[in-house]
Structures are given as C-alpha cells and as structure tokens.
Structure 1
Amino acid sequence: MITIAKETATGYMYVEDADVERRHPDKIIFDIIEKARRIQKQYKAKYKVFGAETNQFQWFLKEQLAKESARQGVYLPIQEVNQSSDKVLRIQTLQPDIKNRYIKFNKNHKRLLEQLKFFPMADHDDAPDALESCRTLATSNKKKLKLLNKKLFGF
C-alpha cells in the first residue's frame, strides 16, 4: 500500500506512505480503511483515487474492500488496475521520474527504497510495482488534487 500526493503546481509526487508489509487479506482491508481515516483526520483530505489491482484473486479483495469501506462509511474512490504488461518493464519506467526527482521519497520508507535500489535483484518487487501503479494513476488522473503541506510528509 503506497500513498502519494501530487502537487498540482509543480507536478511533483510525494510518497506519503509506503506500507509494504505482507499480511492477511482481512488485515489489508482493515489497514486501508484505517489509512483513509488517518489521511482524512491528519490532512483534512480524502483519496482522490484509490487504485486496487484486480488481477486474479485481487479482484475479490477489491470487491471486499468496497463492501467493507461502504459498510463503515469510508467511501473509497476505487479504480480497478488490471496489469497486463510485463512487471519488470513497468517498474523500469519509474527510473526517469526517480532520477529527475519528480517522485520525492521520505527516508523513513526504508523497505520501498531498498527494493528500488536493488531492483530487479531484490527478493521482492511489490513496493516498486505498487509505486509504479500509483505514479500511473497520479499522472493520468484529471481530477484536481488538493495540495498538501510538504512538511507534513517529512520533506
């Protein structure tokens, strides 16, 4: 689960949260809803778009997330992400944005940074894959995104 905020004036993207721990699907749903609540409380903002991968079992997880978030009154703007292209090639498209510092990282996101540093030789590539999906949604989303104070993100 990666949360980014896009600064509309500059186009820079700030990684607000990079929670890439492996966990049970019920815990994933619980944690997503809690993150949505935290963002609402901390930043007085809501997700403008929430990408959920829908390949194979993940479609069912997305459906359960939608049901549970509605049940709890936390209405997530879920957008299905069905990945069909090669994962390694997709992740490699991050390189120019990272090199040019269009994506800003917080040093506290150690696991994400480690997986990016050692990609494609790292044991896991889930964090870079999630970041690529977030970046793609953020750059293709036409909705006006609320600018949040960068200092709140630790930058």
Structure 2
Amino acid sequence: MASSSYSNPPCAACKFLRRKCLPSCTFAPYFPPEEPTKFANVHKIFGASNVSKLLNEIPPHQREDAVNSLAYEAEARLKDPVYGCVGAISVLQRQVLHLQKELDATNADLMLYASNEVSHSYPLLSNPTFMRINAQYNGGEPNPRYASPWNNGSLNENSNTTNANGSM
C-alpha cells in the first residue's frame, strides 16, 4: 500500500483555491471540507486575501465569530446584493413593531374584557344599534338585565317563552 504524506483532506478554502493545505493554514479551523459553499460565498463577496488579513488581525478567540459573521453577511449579500444583512434586519424590525402593536391591542382587549367581567357590566347595553336589535327580539322592550339577541328574552322574569315541554 502506498503511503500518503497527506492524511487530512484540504480545508474548503484550500480546495476552492486549489492549493496545498498546510498545517498552519489560517482558514482550516473555520472552513472545514464538509462546508465548501461557506468559503465559496465568503470568497465571492470579500475575497480570500481580505479574509486572511482580517483573521490575522483578530485575536484567536474571536476568529470563529468573525468567520460566522462573514459567512452570514456573504449569504445575505448573495440573496440581496443591495441591502444584505441590513435588509433582513429591517424586515425583522418591521415584523417586531407590527407584532408589538398587535400584542398591545390584544392586551387592551383583554383588560377591557377582564374589567367588564369583574364589574358585571355590559358595554353593549348602551349601544343604540344593539338596543334596537335587542328590543326587536324581546317583543319591543329592551331587556335591561342582559342584552343578547340570541336568548330571546329568556333571562327576563316576565318573558313569554315556552320551554321544551310546551309549558310557559
């Protein structure tokens, strides 16, 4: 069996650049051979030379985060060449504002319903349209206890409705 002087596959950067991957390769820890598109995108947007310079200027404990940021920005730039990450951030901020307004409106509704439930008052009783509909279902007289068009006055003590047995 022929022995190989090379035991590890080249990193994605060296494979893309078609060069020998040395043990001191700057890219190897951050661009593994299993992720070739990660380096291809970063190279297309920033260039290998600029990425190499950047990695050499950054402290070693911050390099992985920097490479992940470069990869994210490169992917965003390929999707949206004009705005890149800023476009994605703007869309997300608009969604957050819309959802915050929706949440505020829902919380206000909940507070309104909770306060009505506690005080047992029904704000619909003072609504003129609702009072007219309620009067129509209650024989011309509005039901002061509970204004609901579907109960047909069943909560009114002197209602003339019949029960299931046919008695009053």
TM-score range, shorter chain: under 0.3
Which one has the bigger strand percentage?
1
Of structures 1 and 2, the larger Rg is shown by: 2
Which one has the bigger helix percentage?
2
Greater RCO structure (CA 8 Å; 6+ sep)? 1
Q: TM-score, normalised by structure 1?
A: 0.24
Q: TM-score, normalised by structure 2?
A: 0.22
